[in-house]
Structure 1
Amino acid sequence: MMKEADIRAECACGQAKLTLSGPPKTTMLCACKDCQKSTGTDHAALAIWPEDRLQFEGETTHFDTTADSGATVHRHRCTRCGTPVYGISTRLKGHRLIPLGLLGEAANQFAPKSMIFARSKYEWDHTSDGLAQYATYRDS
């Protein structure tokens, strides 16, 4: 359950900081090949936050990837330590993709509700067992 207080998060070195207000639109795991490469794991754990309820301070560098769907994802990382800070997808106008691990203990409030791109998940990863699974994007 979302607490009334804002969530403050920062990268590993403290240079890039986020303040998030209110609950995210949704939370998910994404096992697409780009998220696997970007995180170095089987999937990314993400929250989708309306950008009008997000404040950012610091500097990032970004790289862009183009998904099979044609959507472009701009992946922003801290310029100093390289921590993933947020993503912007052309499929999600007005929203940011926030890595749940960036939120520290506050991430406990936001268990992922589904896994997208489950077609790419590795057989040994059982993190998404019991979650709604989508071969690619969710229907909605």
Structure 2
Amino acid sequence: MSDDISNQDMDLSSGIAAFEAKQFSRATGLLSPLAEQGNTDAMYRMAIMAQNGLGMVPNPLLAYKYMKSAAEQGMGLAQHGLAFMYMEGECTDQNPEKAIEWFKRAADQGFIGSMTTLAMMYEQGNGVPKDMDEARKWYHAAGFDDK
């Protein structure tokens, strides 16, 4: 059993290294089986590659599946990525309410980009009623102070 775990850890490390080195075909080969087993790091990177056609033909359904699964397991980067998918209507139907929900989850984990995006959505009334108080709250949370 421990051999399986150490092999999976090695494949994950090698897959992440390949992803970071932009060796996407190699990364896909190493990370795909781990993503299928539910590894959040592998799912997130597979989602990015499937969404952008890196090392594979673009596959919006696969990208959404992996991004959503990783987000549901609590990975902040995936929550942010899933929120953008919903906001932009990329890989899934546009759904501002779900975008807000997932941006808030990522923001709760300290993701400044999610806080800033929430602030802009409230400031512009993008998918939500325009609410300058809510916008200021999120800008402040992101570290932008009104001067």
TM-score (norm 2): 0.23
Structure with greater proportional strand content: 1
> What is the TM-score normalised by the length of structure 1?
0.24
Which protein has the larger Cα radius of gyration, Structure 1 or Structure 2? Answer: 2
- Larger proportion of helix: 2
The higher-RCO structure (CA 8 Å, 6+ apart) is 1
